[in-house]
């Protein structure tokens, strides 16, 4: 009997977040621990895997911030959820090519999946000063740039929904005691229980609330790093900014939406983040919101088109065609250009806003 069966047997039903945590991250069952996830042959593709030019643009942003804080002699990059490690590999490669960059760089990687840590180690084996870290508060005191691409959309979420003025928590149970099939189970909750979420959602107007578990702890730790380490935080993800919650949970396999209840363990489970959660928690922590822009806007401001022109001049027609297709995927509003957003947060009074105005 696997962990999921044991838990449901014992408790009759389990909350959605606990189910997702097992389906994605359990050492034996978990999707992120076992499957070939990324890329065209995997289940989904992320921006750094579409083209290395995405990570190159992030390196420019990082270097510009380093210059803005007056070129400290030591600097950290902390990446949250590095996947297969290719984004940070490209970032390090690009930074090393910049002749004026003379700081000692330490890279911290925060990753939950043991399998992905192994892949990251392999992809990064030629670099020094890379440290895998479980607790991000344990980084050294140096100035720190935190980056995350599609990190928070891989968090287990709690989901609540309203029916006839009653609120229920979305849970998972066995279908008619058949241990091979799972189904949803609605567990009625006391409305007071939702008070915790009223900072982020209008409970009266919302019909659904989705809340990534653990997010508050992460955003508090990131806030502390921003304050203590002269830090800045740049993230990319899909989501929306509205206090009316939405039902966005979905399962993805081979680049298509699939039935979560049938395919769990063999598919990614994800959701759209409500960016209000970030804005609200960072505001409470006295952290400055630099802005939210589309990925398209951000990358164009950083000069992705000019960089692509430069590359194309020096390569063959087929590689150039592929680059143009990749840039289209990253920028096209119907593809990743408008679905993905760039958000950045800094210390109060920091004037660095490259890519955001």
> Can you tell me the distance from the alpha carbon of 228 to that of 143, in angstroms, rounded to the nearest whole number?
8
Considering the complex, state which of residue 8 and residue 87 has its C-beta at the smaller distance from ligand SAM.
87
* Phi, psi dihedrals of residue 171, rounded to the nearest 5°: -130, 175
Minimum distance from CB of 7 to ligand SAM (Å)? 20
Considering the complex, state which of residue 82 and residue 245 has its C-beta at the smaller distance from ligand SAM.
82
Burial zone of 35 (CB within 10 Å; 0-12 exposed, 13-18 middle, 19+ buried):
middle
Minimum distance from CB of 77 to ligand SAM (Å)? 13
Give the count of beta carbons closer than 10 Å to the beta carbon of residue 102: 8
Which stretches of the chain bind ligand SAM, using CB under 6 A? 32, 38, 46, 48-49, 81-83, 87, 110-113, 116, 149-151, 154-155
Sign of the CA dihedral 47, 52, 54, 60? positive
Considering the complex, state which of residue 25 and residue 68 has its C-beta at the smaller distance from ligand SAM.
25
Minimum distance from CB of 76 to ligand SAM (Å)? 17
Considering the complex, state which of residue 32 and residue 200 has its C-beta at the smaller distance from ligand SAM.
32
Considering the complex, state which of residue 134 and residue 164 has its C-beta at the smaller distance from ligand SAM.
134
Q: Which residue is nearest to ligand SAM (CB)?
A: 81
Selection from 239, 253, 271 nearest residue 339 by Cα: 239
Give the count of beta carbons closer than 10 Å to the beta carbon of residue 252: 17
Considering the complex, state which of residue 194 and residue 330 has its C-beta at the smaller distance from ligand SAM.
330
**Those residues with Cβ within 8 angstroms of residue 26's Cβ, 6 or more apart along the chain or in another chain:** 3, 4, 33
Considering the complex, state which of residue 42 and residue 320 has its C-beta at the smaller distance from ligand SAM.
42
Considering the complex, state which of residue 87 and residue 308 has its C-beta at the smaller distance from ligand SAM.
87
Minimum distance from CB of 132 to ligand SAM (Å)? 10
Minimum distance from CB of 152 to ligand SAM (Å)? 8
Exposure class string for 63-73: b at 16+ Cβ within 10 A, else e: bebbeeeeeee
> Can you tell me the distance from the alpha carbon of 22 to that of 106, in angstroms, rounded to the nearest whole number?
32
Minimum distance from CB of 49 to ligand SAM (Å)? 6
Selection from 291, 284, 326, 332 nearest residue 307 by Cα: 326
Minimum distance from CB of 34 to ligand SAM (Å)? 12
Minimum distance from CB of 289 to ligand SAM (Å)? 22
**Those residues with Cβ within 8 angstroms of residue 343's Cβ, 6 or more apart along the chain or in another chain:** 234, 235, 236, 237, 275, 278, 289, 290, 291, 292
Give the count of beta carbons closer than 10 Å to the beta carbon of residue 164: 4
């Amino acid at each position: 009997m696997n962990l999921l069966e044991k838990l449901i047997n014992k408790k009759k039903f389990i909350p959605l977040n606990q189910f997702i945590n097992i389906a994605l991250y359990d050492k034996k069952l978990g999707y992120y621990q076992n499957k070939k996830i990324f890329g065209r042959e995997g289940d989904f593709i992320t921006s750094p895997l579409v083209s290395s030019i995405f990570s190159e643009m992030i390196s420019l942003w990082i270097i510009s911030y380093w210059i803005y804080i007056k070129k400290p002699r030591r600097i950290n990059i902390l990446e949250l959820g590095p996947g297969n490690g290719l984004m940070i590999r490209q970032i390090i490669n690009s930074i090393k090519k910049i002749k004026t960059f003379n700081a000692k760089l330490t890279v911290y990687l925060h990753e939950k999946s043991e399998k992905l840590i192994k892949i990251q180690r392999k992809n990064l084996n030629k670099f020094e000063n890379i440290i895998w870290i479980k607790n991000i508060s344990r980084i050294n005191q140096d100035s720190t740039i935190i980056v995350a691409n599609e990190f928070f959309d891989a968090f287990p979420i709690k989901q609540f929904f309203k029916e006839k003025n009653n609120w229920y928590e979305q849970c998972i149970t066995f279908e008619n005691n058949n241990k091979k099939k799972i189904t949803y189970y609605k567990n009625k909750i006391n409305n007071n229980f939702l008070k915790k979420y009223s900072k982020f959602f209008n409970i009266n107007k919302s019909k659904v609330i989705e809340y990534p578990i653990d997010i508050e702890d992460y955003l508090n730790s990131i806030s502390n790093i921003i304050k203590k380490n002269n830090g800045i935080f740049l993230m990319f993800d899909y989501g929306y900014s509205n206090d009316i919650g939405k039902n966005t949970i979905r399962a993805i396999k081979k680049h298509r939406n699939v039935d979560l209840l049938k395919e769990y363990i063999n598919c990614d489970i994800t959701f759209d983040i409500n960016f209000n959660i970030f804005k609200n928690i960072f505001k409470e922590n006295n952290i400055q919101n630099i802005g939210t822009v589309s990925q398209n806007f951000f990358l164009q401001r950083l000069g992705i088109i000019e960089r692509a022109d430069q590359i194309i001049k020096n390569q063959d027609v087929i590689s150039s065609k592929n680059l143009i297709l990749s840039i289209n995927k990253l920028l096209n509003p119907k593809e990743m250009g408008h679905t993905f957003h760039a958000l950045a947060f800094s210390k109060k009074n920091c004037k660095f806003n490259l890519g955001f105005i």
